Amino acid sequence: MQQEIFVLIAIGIGAIFLLWILFYFVPVGLWFTALVSNVRISLIQLVLMRWRKVPPRVIVNSLITSTKAGLSLKRDDLEAHYLAGGHVQGVVNALISAEKANIKLDFKTATAIDLAGRNVLEAVQMSVNPKVIDTKKVAAVAKDGIQLIAMARVTVRANIDQLVGGAGEETVLARVGEGIVSSIGSANSHKAVLENPDSISKVVLAKGLDSGTAFEILSIDIADIDIGKNIGAELQMDQANADKNIAQAKAEEKRAMAVATEQQMKAKAQEARANVIQAEAEIPKAIAEAFRSGNLGIMDYYRYKNIQADTTMRESIAGNPTIEGNEKE
């Protein structure tokens, strides 16, 4: 009796497992849903999808959605796009949105945009409802040296034809910032820019900055503009400081040269004084030699001493006493 119960339980579990396998590989419910939705697809095709590792529910639901929206899509195209790594449901929703908004978008273009890594549904929505992008604060200097800090608001619309290979938002913002800097830099006075900020928008918009991008620029509005630093005055101050430092360096160089020349002259004076002292030291020797040789007499010597004393006295009266050689022997 117990063996029969175990056999029945085993048969029940096996039957449940077989039914699960059957309904997994043969999605009868999904086939019936497609049938009542006027989507013609066979059970064999659904089973083959399982073997190709394509989720039948994604393909069937996409076919049902497109059929109800009046689009004619092929099952093979949807499977191929899924196997290529695309988002099937997103592409179908984008095609439906484009159809309702009278935007020209075919299945091939939509799948190419999706495989390129862009959100094709978001692109279609942006074509219908333009997107507003705020730029970062852009600093520029007018010709009078006053810095202006501006922030722009760019309204863009997706360009479906340029989504594949077109530049993104970063390129648009960089070009707009470059245009703002160029426009402010060409202004003669910052006051003119403050009085008429829309002149920046007109100049930037006229440059065709959306060329080669995935967007079409509809408008560029200056959201905020502030006065920054006086760059011209700061540059003049820096130049004046640099000139002052150069002048100080040259003056210091001249002073050092003057000090060196003075020291050199002092050294020459000391050398000349030493030569004089050395020459004066030879005078007594010369007098003694003159006495020995008979070229100088005693009366000549006394006349020499009298002249020397007379010279010393005159120098003392004049207030310039001599330093050496005034003592009587």
pLDDT tens digits for 118-127? 888 888 888 8
Q: What is the structure's pLDDT at 321?
A: 47
Residue 328 in this model has a pLDDT that exceeds 50: no
Q: What is the structure's pLDDT at 17?
A: 63
Query: Residue 315: which residues within 8 A CB-CB, separation 6 or more?
Result: 321, 322
Residue 70 — left, alpha, or beta (φ > 0 → left; ψ -120 to 50 → alpha)? left
Contact assessment for residue 172 and residue 133, using Cβ atoms and an 8 Å cutoff: yes
Q: What is the structure's pLDDT at 183?
A: 85
| H-state helical runs in the chain | 2-25, 28-36, 43-51, 56-68, 75-83, 88-100, 107-115, 120-128, 169-185, 190-195, 198-205, 231-293, 298-317
User: Can you tell me the distance from the alpha carbon of 230 to that of 255, in angstroms, rounded to the nearest whole number?
Assistant: 37
> pTM here?
0.56
Contact assessment for residue 100 and residue 68, using Cβ atoms and an 8 Å cutoff: no
pLDDT tens digits for 121-167? 888 888 888 888 888 888 888 888 888 888 888 888 888 877 777 78
- For residue 149, what are the CA distances in angstroms to 12, 153, 186, 206? 78, 14, 15, 21
Structure-token match 């960089």, residue found: 174
Question: In this prediction, what percent of the chain has a pLDDT beyond 90?
Answer: 0
pLDDT tens digits for 185-225? 888 887 887 878 777 888 887 887 778 888 888 888 888 88
Q: In this predicted structure, which of 7-11, 243-247, 290-294, 299-303 has the lowest mean pLDDT?
A: 7-11
Q: What is the structure's pLDDT at 327?
A: 43
SS3 226: strand
Residue 284 in this model has a pLDDT that exceeds 60: yes
Residue 175 in this model has a pLDDT that exceeds 60: yes
Name which of 112, 123, 50, 105 is nearest 87 in CA terms: 112
Average pLDDT of the residues of the chain: 81
Q: How confident is the model at residue 24 (pLDDT cuts 50, 70, 90)?
A: low
DSSP string, 124-137: HHHHHSPEEEEPPP
Query: Residue 100: which residues within 8 A CB-CB, separation 6 or more?
Result: 69
167 beta partners: 213
Residue 252 in this model has a pLDDT that exceeds 60: yes
| CATH numbers and ranges of domains, the chain | 2-128 (no CATH), 132-233 (3.30.479.30)
Q: What is the structure's pLDDT at 329?
A: 42
* Token reading at 67: 């059929």
